[in-house]
Amino acid sequence: MSDDKIIKLHSGKVSKDPDHMLEMAKGDFKELCILGVNSEGRIEARATKDMTISTLLFLLENIKFTLIAHGYFDEDDDDE
């Protein structure tokens, strides 16, 4: 698989504050899915209304593959 097909899980925009991360993401996406742990400690997911189930599953499977094959990395790891 070529590097242009790898989904990076770290965009270089980082924050420990979820609200700040959401603010930084404004305007960057055509469709969006948010996965996280809510204030009650439960996993929660939200997606834009126009995202189809097939697109959501495709995104999740690609992220899963990337984590299994390459782990979590940031843009500074591009040289490896």
Q: Indicate the pTM of the whole model.
A: 0.58
* Dihedral (CA of 58, 59, 61, 66) sign: positive
* Dihedral (CA of 12, 18, 23, 28) sign: positive
Break the chain into its structural domains and give their ranges: 3-79
CA distance 64 to 50: 22
**Residue range 18-22: mean pLDDT, rounded:** 88
pLDDT digits (tens, 9 = 90+) for 52-78: 999 989 988 988 888 888 776 554 444
Could you tell me the pLDDT band of residue 43, with boundaries at 50, 70 and 90?
Answer: very high
Examine the pLDDT at 48 and tell me if it is beyond 70.
Answer: yes
43 strand-pairing partners:
37
First-residue to last-residue Cα distance in the chain: 15
Examine the pLDDT at 6 and tell me if it is beyond 70.
Answer: no
Which tokens go with 69?
């094959």
